[in-house]
Amino acid sequence: MIRLAFGVLIGCALDGFVPREAAAQVPFSLFQPARQIEAAKPLARDVTGPPAISQRLDGTAFFVDDLGHMLTARHAVADCARIVVSKEGRAVAARMVAQATTDIALIKVPRTLGLAAVFPRATASAANDMVFAEAYDRLKPMLAHGGSLGNAFVDTSLRDPEHLVLRSNVTFGTSGAPVLDSRGLVEGVVSRRTTIDRVLAVDAAHAKSFLAAHGVRFQEDDRPQMSGTASRAHRAASISARVTCLQQ
C-alpha cells in the first residue's frame, strides 16, 4: 500500500533532498498528498495528466543485510524515474536490483541505515497471532506515544499459497512494510488490501527464496530479537525506512 502525490516537477536534483516530517515528505512544495480512498487492490493510485505532470509514490522498505539491500513491495518501486530512501533526516538514492513474480522487489542503497531484519528459520504464525505492520511515516508519532505491541492478526480463514493473510486496517504508505511477529522476526512483506480490514503480505518463505536467488545473505534465527513486552513499533523503526518512487 503506497501513498501518492502529484504536481509539476521542477529542478529535482537529488542533492539537498531532505525529507520533511509533514504529509508532503519531499521538498517539492507543489507536491500535495492525494485524497485517500479504499480499494481492494494494490494501493498504487493511477494519476493521469498532461506530460508535465509527475507523480510521487510513498511506501516502506526494510533492510535485509548490512550491505544496503532492502525489500519492498514491487508495485511501490515499479517504473520509477528515481527511487529515494529516507530515514531519520537522511535521503539517499536507491537502485532497483530485482523484481519477483510476487509483489516484492529488491532495491539497494550505498549502506544500511539502521539494523538488518531477521527472518524466522521456519514460519510459525498461527491463527489469531498478533503481529505488527505499519507505514514507516506512521512509526514516529506512534513511538511518541509509547509504541505498540501489535496492530494486526493472522487470519487463516482464507488460505493463500504465497501470502500471509492479516486482519488489519493499515492504509497508504504501508506497501513493503515488514510484518513482525512477537519475537521481532519478519513473517512477511505487506502487499495489498483485499477488503477494508484484510491485508495480504508476501510470506517469509517466498521472500527468503527471492533473496537467496539473488545472492543476498540474510539473517535467520528463531530466537527473539526483542523482549516479549517490547514495542514492535520500535523494532520496525530500526529496520525500515520510507521509499519514494518519483515517476515522470
Banded pLDDT at 114 (limits 50, 70, 90): very high
For the whole model, what pTM was predicted? 0.80
Going by their DSSP bridges, the two strands 198-203 and 163-167 should be labelled as: antiparallel
Length of the chain: 248
| Range in 13-22, 193-202, 211-220 the model is least confident about | 13-22
- Phi and psi based region of residue 52 (left: phi greater than 0; alpha: psi -120 to 50; beta: remaining): alpha
One domain for residues 92 and 155: no
pLDDT value at residue 30? 27
Q: What does the block give as the cell for 190? A: 505487506
CA distances from 40 to 2, 76, 236 (A): 13, 16, 25
Count of the separate structural domains present in the chain: 2
Query: Is the pLDDT at 228 greater than 50, yes or no?
Result: yes
Query: Is the pLDDT at 4 greater than 60, yes or no?
Result: no
One domain for residues 134 and 229: yes
What is the average pLDDT across 124-141?
90
pLDDT value at residue 187? 96
- CATH number of the domain where residue 130 is located: 2.40.10.10
Q: Which residues pair with 33 in a beta bridge?
A: 5
Q: Which of 151-160's residues contact partners 24+ apart within 8 Å by CB, and which partners?
A: 152/179, 152/199, 153/128, 153/129, 154/125, 154/126, 154/127, 154/128, 154/129, 155/127, 155/198, 156/126, 156/127, 157/127, 158/198, 160/200
Angle between helices 232-239 and 136-144 (to 10 degrees): 140
| Range in 6-15, 104-113, 189-198, 203-212 the model is least confident about | 6-15
One domain for residues 156 and 69: no
pLDDT (tens digit per residue) in 61-103: 999 999 999 999 999 999 999 999 999 999 999 999 999 999 9
One domain for residues 96 and 136: no
Banded pLDDT at 248 (limits 50, 70, 90): confident
**Residue whose entry in the numeric block shows the C-alpha cell 493521469:** 48
Cα–Cα distance, 127 to 157 (Å, whole number) = 8
- CATH number of the domain where residue 106 is located: 2.40.10
One domain for residues 128 and 219: yes
pLDDT value at residue 159? 78
* Domain assignment of residue 108, given as a range: 3-114+242-247
One domain for residues 75 and 155: no
In the chain, the amino acid numbered 25 is: Q
E strand map for 125-235: 130-131, 152-154, 163-167, 178-180, 186-195, 198-203, 219-220
pLDDT (tens digit per residue) in 7-64: 433 333 343 344 433 333 332 222 233 333 334 455 443 444 454 446 899 999 999 9
pLDDT value at residue 122? 85
One domain for residues 106 and 129: no
Half-sphere exposure in the Cβ direction for 114 (13 Å, CA): 25
